Copies of this chain bind each other. A is one copy, B any other.
Amino acid sequence: MAIKERKEREKQEMRNLIIESATQLFLKQGYDKTSIRSIADDIEYSPATIYLYFKDKDEIFYVIHENAFDLLDKELRKHDAIADPFERLGAIGRTYIRFGLENPDYYDLMFIMRAPMEQIKNEEKWKAGECAFGYLLTTLSECLEQKKIRPADLHVTAIMVWSFVHGLVSLYVRERMCILMMPDDATRGVLYNSFDLFMANLKT
C-alpha cells in the first residue's frame, strides 16, 4: 500500500509549506504580528487547517527555533579549522554576535522569547542548542588544557562567556544600549570593542 506513504509525504509537505510561510512572515514582521490567520491567508488555507498539522502556535515556532539553531551551529562550526583554541574562541564569539545583530528575530526566538521554551523544557530536546553549547565547551576545554586562558571550572567559564556575548546582543537588539546616546554604528563599535576587551581579560 504505497498510498499510505504518499499520504504521509503529503502531510509532511503541508507541514513544510506552513513552516516556510511562517518563517518568512516571522522574519518579515516578528512573532507577535505573525498570526495563525496571516499564515493561513498566505498559504491559502483556512486557519483551522493549520491545527490539523500543528498542535498550536508554539509548536510551529518550535520548529523555526530548531532551524535557527541549525543555522547558528553551521555558522559557528565554520571556524573548526582554526587550530589555536583561543583564536577560535574569539572567532566563534564574533560570529555569534554578528549572527544576533543580523538576525534579531531569530535571536529573539532562540534566546529571549519565553514562548517556545514551554515545548523544550519537558522534552529531552534542545538538540541543536546543546550542540552549539557543546562546541563552546569543547573549545574552552582546549583553551584550559593549553593554558591559553586563566584556569577555572569549565562550566563556570562557559556560562561566563555565553552570558557576556548574550548580554551584548540582547541589550542591543532590545534597544537598551541607547543609554550610551551614541549613533548606531558607534554603539556597535563599543559593542565589538567590549568583546575584544573581554577576550583580553580572559587571556592568561
Contact = CB atoms under 8 A, between A and B. Distances in A.
A100 to B, nearest CB: 12
Contacts of A159: 168, 177, 180, 190-191, 194
A166 B171 contact: yes
7 contacts: A112-B174, A152-B197, A155-B180, A156-B193, A163-B171, A166-B171, A167-B168
B166 A160 contact: no
Interface string A38-63: 00000000000000000000000000
Interface of A: 111-114, 117, 120-121, 126, 129-130, 133, 150, 152-153, 155-157, 159-160, 162-168, 170-171, 174-180, 190-191, 193-194, 197-198, 200-202
Given A133-B179, A201-B201, A160 B164 contact: yes
